Structure formats: C-alpha cells, structure tokens
Amino acid sequence: MTEELKELESRMSDGKTFNVEDAKKFSRLSSFTTVYQEYLGEKSNYEGLVSMANDPEDVDLQAEAKLELEESIPKMDKLASGVTSKLLPPHEFSDRGCILELRPGAGGQEAMIFTQDLLTMYYKYAQVHRWKCEILSQNESTSGGLVDGSLLIDHPGAYDRLRHEAGVHRVQRVPQTEVKGRVHTSTAAVVVLPKIEEGADEGERKFAGDELRIDVMRASGSGGQHVNTTESAVRITHIPTGIVVINQDERSQHKNKAKALMVLRARLAEKERLEKVQKERAERRDQVSSTDRSDKIRTYNFSQNRVTDHRCGLSLHDLSGCMNGESLDQVIDAVEAKETELQSLRLIEDLEHVNK
C-alpha cells in the first residue's frame, strides 16, 4: 500500500494522468499511511521501552520504563484499531448528515412516550456536539408521547456516527400512570437515513417530471382567493417505488414541500444502499448477518439506571447521562469498535480465502 502511495505521489508531481479517482485514492491512502506511520513510531517506542524495562543494570530506568509502558500499551491498541479501520472500506454515506425517523413499537402509550424521550435524546446529543439540528416533524398523540417524529442532524459525518442507532430500542420502566408500580417493557424503532444534498454534488438525485406526484392537502374546493386556510400539508408520492412522504409541520407549504423532498431523497438513497448490501451478501453467501433489523439493539432499564447495548455487550450505568445526550458516545464507541473488529475478522478470512 505504501508503494501504491509512492507511485501516486510521483504521478502527481509529474502533473499528469491524475484524475478524480486517483485523488480520492490518494487521500485515502495518505490518511492510512499517516496512521500507519504513527503506529510504527509507537511500536518502536514500545519495543525500546520493553528492552529498557528488562535492563538489569539500571533499576531506576527500569521503573521509569515500566511507567511509560503503561501509557504506551493503550496508545498502541488505539492506533492499531485505527489502522484496521482505515484498511476497511469507508461507509457509503460516511461524510453525510442524517435524518432520524422514530416510531413507537409494542407497548402503547409507554412506547409513544419513549419515542418522545429518544427524540429528545438525539436532539440533546446533537446539541452536545454543537451539530446543526432541526426537528422535521413530530406528531403528538392526544394522550402524550409521539405517534411519529423525525429529526434532521445537518452535520457532515453525523450519518456515520448515528447509523449505529438504527434498530429497535427497548425500555423497561414503571410508567407514571402505573399505580401498582409494575415495570413495563415497550419499544421504539429508529431508522437512520443519509441527508442527500439537492445541489450539484455527486449524490444529488434529480427527479424526472413523471416520477413524482405532489399533492397539497386541502379541504375546500376552489382555492385561490376563496380560501385563507392554514392547511399547508404536502404529500409526495414517488411513483416507481410507491414511497409516500407527508410533511405538514411548517406554516409554509413551500418549506413542507422542500422537506418532504429531502426525506424522499434520503429514503431512496438508504433503500438503494440496503439493496446493494443485500446483493453483496448474497454474492458472498454471507450467513453471518450480524444483526437482524427486527432484533432489539439496546435496552434502557430505568430502575437499574442502566443502558445495555446487545450488539457489543456494553452495559453503561449512567442512563440519565445517556438520555441527555452526554454519554451516548460511550455506547456508540463500543458498538463502532465491535463493528471494526467483526469487519477486520471478515477481511482476514477473505484474505486467507484468496491466498489459498
């Protein structure tokens, strides 16, 4: 890989035959080598320390080296996993913002309240990071909680971080309305979509004239000067796929339309990505489908002040910190590390396969 980089470098200095593909490759490779060099540096530092620590001549030096080793080892671990994650192909939408769509699952009223809690958690999480964040829609139930809700986190890379949140979240707690103090279990589902820009970037998606059906939803007949209604809901149907997006939260019909289009683009992009992933899995007859989409990914246990992520096995005993967005990162870090581990195992398997 270092050689490939060298070749690219020399081609670049020639100032010829350097195209967009090369530029992308170059930036990937060079960011890999930076991490790799750092790793090698730390490794030789580590080796030096080890030999010092074993030096029978100098006892003082021995003690000092041992102290430094304690710092060096975790550093090296971190760099090593950095190297593996750089080796793995980046996720398709890793540089994008995201849209989170939340819906209550089993558990009636409690599930709706939990859906609201999750929406708040992600909103606060975005605030903690100072990421631009906007509630796209929240459909309140008359008796509290949300029938559905969605949130736009308009920050590059938010998708890559939050894609691990997709799946079924489970809550165990005593509802406020529960007189007997019994613990209820209910769920909410989270969908994570990439934000696709409307502008001229490469992920852009243009719609043909007959691909969309746009309806404004209005009760009365003749429109125009005859009505001054506040109804501003817009429904967009994507005819080829049958996907329907409704937006009605803004007073401006024009904004509702723009938001609905953004959500439609996001759903289409995610749908296409999932189809691609499935196809790739089928091609390699991948049986280790790591997590089924219908599986619960995480449990929030209120009476034990505990959040457990079932994918990586982490239990965090700071539920309130998680729910106000501050320690959610600890959970995501653990899930991310697990993903990298699984992926590198797979990479090694693949390599061995090729070598045979």
Partner 1 sequence: MPRIDSKTISQATKFSRFLPWLLRASRGSIVEAKKELRWIKSELPRSKWERACQARHRLVPLQYILGSQPFAHDLTIKCRPNVLIPRNDTEDWCVELEQILCDIRKPLKALDVCSGSGCISLSLVSSRAKFSHVYGIDVSRDALELANENLRINSHQLQRSNPKCIMKYVRGDILNEKLSEILGTGAKSWDIIVSNPPYITVDELASSSLEKSVKLYEPMLALEGDLEFYDELVKLTIEAQARAFVFELGNIRQAKRVAELLHLKDSSWIFGIRRDSGGIRNVIGWKRDSEFTSLDKLCHEQLQ
329 interacts with partner 1 by CB under 8 A? no
CA pair distance 154, 179, nearest whole angstrom: 42
Nearer to partner 1, 25 or 255 (CB): 255
For partner 1, the binding residue among 4, 134, 140, 204 (CB under 8 A) is 140
Taking CB under 8 A as the rule, does residue 219 contact partner 1? yes
Q: Which is nearer to partner 1, 50 or 216 (CB)?
A: 216
Supply the minimum distance, in Å, between the C-beta of residue 229 and partner 1. Answer: 7
Out of 197, 249, 326, 333, which residue is the one contacting partner 1 (CB under 8 A)?
Answer: 249
- Tell me if 253 contacts partner 1 by CB under 8 A: yes
Q: Which stretch binds partner 1 (CB under 8 A): 41-49, 114-122, 140-148, 196-204?
A: 140-148
- Spatial contact of 239 and 212, defined as CB atoms under 8 Å apart: yes
Axis crossing angle, helix 20-53 with helix 2-14, rounded to the nearest 10? 130
Task: Verify binding: residue 232, partner 1, rule CB under 8 A.
Answer: yes
Distances (CA, A) of 344 to 36, 38, 98, 308, 311: 16, 20, 26, 24, 16
Residue with smaller CB distance to partner 1, 1 or 217: 217
Q: Is 137 one of the binding residues for partner 1 (CB under 8 A)?
A: no
- Select 230 or 355, whichever has its Cβ closest to partner 1: 230
Q: Is 176 in the site for partner 1 (CB under 8 A)?
A: no
Among 44, 220, 294, 355, binds partner 1 (CB under 8 A): 220
Rounded CA separation 134/196 (Å) = 16
Residue 281 contacts partner 1 per CB under 8 A: no
Angle formed at CA 92 by CA 88 and CA 94, multiple of 5 degrees: 85
- Binding-site size for partner 1 (CB under 8 A) equals 28
By CB under 8 A, tell whether 216 contacts partner 1: yes
The answer to the question of residue 177 lying near partner 1 (CB under 8 A) is no
| Site residues, partner 1 (CB under 8 A) | 140, 142-143, 215-216, 218-232, 248-255
